């Protein structure tokens, strides 16, 4: 059994996930689109901010709780939707939802999940939001929305940045494609991970897209992916967004917004919140980092709806910076997936515990008593600290 409790950072979990997973699965999670510039920028951009602490204002025990769309959160973090999570750990989505619930967070289940919404909600009642990829077949989309509502999800997130799939070149190199093109090396690599294979009862190819299986019989994941790719709406525009909005009574968010003008329009068509995101650098390369785009969107919306920051969060400090720039909460994908790959729900819980402990420590060291208190005053103004401020000269 992996001693996951000893892992002290998300990077440690990442290294352990790299060892635990066959390379093609690790790369599917870890990789980004084309030259992976947006992927790297998502991380690097956090390093450009400088925190300006006032520790003497500290509370001994800062309050990390917040409320988002009536969901109480122990830390301001929502687990991001990820497709085919069962490849990392059997029943991966159920494990992530359980971990989120155990740590007082919420989990967002993807349309492209490998466990059905009913099963996931049953494992973590009241703690599951749903992410929609709109299909061309509106009958199917309407049925799916009914199913999601009946299962008990209240919050819906429509992803807008995936009209076509970004070109993920690690997947191409590994033959993780449709149809699969596994060469000898990836096959040997699969065999070199017997624990992972045994966990999947030697049939990882049975991991599938649970919300689509009824339509397409019991096909394996990659086989089904070919059909599903063709099912998604390639021309998602404001009309389509309005179509979804009309069919969902609960809180409705758009995920994938980077531009302030798009944010403005999203609110005009009835979005109750936005997720500023570049899909973790997996779609269009060379876009701004999510954390770079965040203050522009926040400024434009001026508090009209909550804004979440998604992309690159690997530290509690990243979350602190996002909050300081006006995010209501963060969303994290890979940080949780690395933990899941190491030890299932326990590993995902460990990832949340690490982020929570780091945020708490950051709040103590900064002097922020609670989440509402975290604002731009905790960030050093750009470029100013390199030279001493000019002192007024008295005659
Ligand atoms: C393996 C994987 C699968 C993903 N699948 C989906 C998905 O089905 N729907 C979606 O909206 N976003 C999906 N995403 C994007 C995440 O929701 C999120 O935007 C991204 O992971 C954030 O970046 P981070 O991993 O640096 O936290 C996926 C990301 C990864 C890594």
On the question of pLDDT at 19 being above 60, the answer is: yes
Question: Does the Cβ of 14 fall within 6 Å of ligand 1?
Answer: no
For residue 177, report the distance from its CA to the centre of ligand 1, in Å.
18
Q: Rounded CA gap, 136 and 235, in Å?
A: 9
215: pLDDT strictly greater than 70: no
Helix, coil or strand: residue 51: strand
Task: Enumerate the domain spans of the chain.
Answer: 4-380
Tell whether the model's pLDDT for residue 390 goes beyond 60: no
Output the CA–CA distances (angstroms, integers) from residue 338 to 25, 133, 157, 237, in the order listed: 11, 24, 23, 33
Structure tokens at 314: 């690997």
Query: CA quadruple 189, 195, 199, 201: dihedral positive or negative?
Result: positive
Peptide bond into 179 cis (omega under 30): yes
Please say if the pLDDT value at position 383 is more than 80. no
Q: Which ranges constitute the DSSP H helices of the chain?
A: 10-20, 23-30, 37-47, 92-102, 117-123, 138-151, 169-174, 184-191, 194-199, 213-216, 221-231, 238-246, 260-268, 290-301, 316-324, 334-366
**What's the pTM value of the predicted model, to 2 decimals?**
0.94
Q: Kindly report, residue by residue over 273-310, the tens digit of the pLDDT.
A: 999 999 999 999 999 999 999 999 999 999 999 999 99
CATH superfamily, domain 4-380, is: Aldolase class I (3.20.20.70)
Candidates 193, 216, 279, 394; catalytic one: 279
pLDDT the model gives residue 185: 85
Mean pLDDT of the chain: 92
pLDDT tier, 216 (very low <50, low <70, confident <90, very high otherwise) = low
| Widest Cα–Cα separation across the chain | 86
- What share of the chain has pLDDT > 90, as a percent? 79
Percent of the chain at pLDDT exceeding 70: 92
Q: Any catalytic annotation for residue 227? A: no
Q: What is the mean pLDDT of residues 194-200?
A: 92
At 395, the pLDDT band (50, 70, 90 cuts) reads: very low
> And the tokens for 205?
């190819």
The pLDDT tens digits for 48-65 are 999 999 988 777 799 999
80 lines ligand 1 (CB under 6 A): yes
């Amino acid at each position: 059994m992996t001693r996951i409790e000893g892992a002290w950072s998300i990077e440690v979990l990442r290294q352990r996930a790299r060892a635990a997973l066959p390379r093609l699965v690790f790369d599917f999670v870890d990789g980004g689109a084309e030259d992976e510039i947006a992927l790297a920028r998502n991380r690097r951009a956090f390093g450009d901010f400088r925190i300006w602490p006032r520790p003497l204002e500290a509370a001994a025990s800062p309050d990390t709780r917040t409320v988002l769309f009536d969901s109480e959160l122990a830390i301001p973090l929502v687990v991001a939707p990820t497709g085919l999570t069962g490849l990392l750990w059997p029943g991966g989505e159920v494990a992530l939802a359980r971990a989120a619930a155990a740590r007082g967070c919420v989990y967002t289940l993807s349309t492209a999940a490998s466990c059905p919404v009913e099963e996931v909600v049953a494992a973590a009642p009241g703690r599951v939001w749903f992410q929609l990829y709109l299909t061309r077949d509106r009958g199917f989309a309407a049925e799916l929305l009914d199913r999601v509502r009946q299962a008990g999800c209240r919050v819906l997130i429509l992803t807008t940045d995936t009209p076509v799939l970004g070109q993920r070149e690690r997947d191409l190199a590994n033959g993780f494609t449709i149809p699969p093109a596994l060469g000898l090396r990836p096959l040997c690599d699969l065999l070199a991970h017997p624990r992972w294979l045994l966990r999947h009862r030697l049939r990882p190819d049975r991991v599938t897209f649970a919300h689509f299986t009824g339509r397409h019989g019991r096909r394996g994941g990659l086989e089904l992916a070919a059909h599903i790719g063709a099912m998604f709406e390639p021309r998602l525009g404001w009309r389509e967004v309005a179509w979804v909005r009309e069919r969902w009574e609960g809180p409705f968010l758009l995920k994938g917004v980077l531009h302030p003008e798009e944010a403005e329009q999203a609110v005009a068509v009835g979005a109750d919140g936005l997720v500023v995101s570049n899909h973790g650098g997996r779609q269009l390369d060379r876009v701004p980092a999510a954390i770079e785009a965040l203050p522009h969107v926040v400024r434009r919306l001026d508090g009209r709806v909550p804004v979440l920051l998604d992309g690159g969060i690997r530290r509690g400090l990243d979350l602190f910076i996002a909050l300081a720039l006006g995010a209501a909460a963060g969303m994290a994908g890979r940080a949780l997936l690395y933990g899941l790959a190491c030890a299932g729900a326990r590993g995902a819980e460990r990832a949340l515990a690490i982020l929570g402990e780091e945020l708490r420590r950051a709040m103590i060291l900064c002097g922020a008593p609670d989440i509402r208190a975290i604002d731009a005053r905790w960030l050093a103004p750009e470029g100013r600290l390199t030279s001493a401020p000019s002192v007024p000269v008295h005659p």
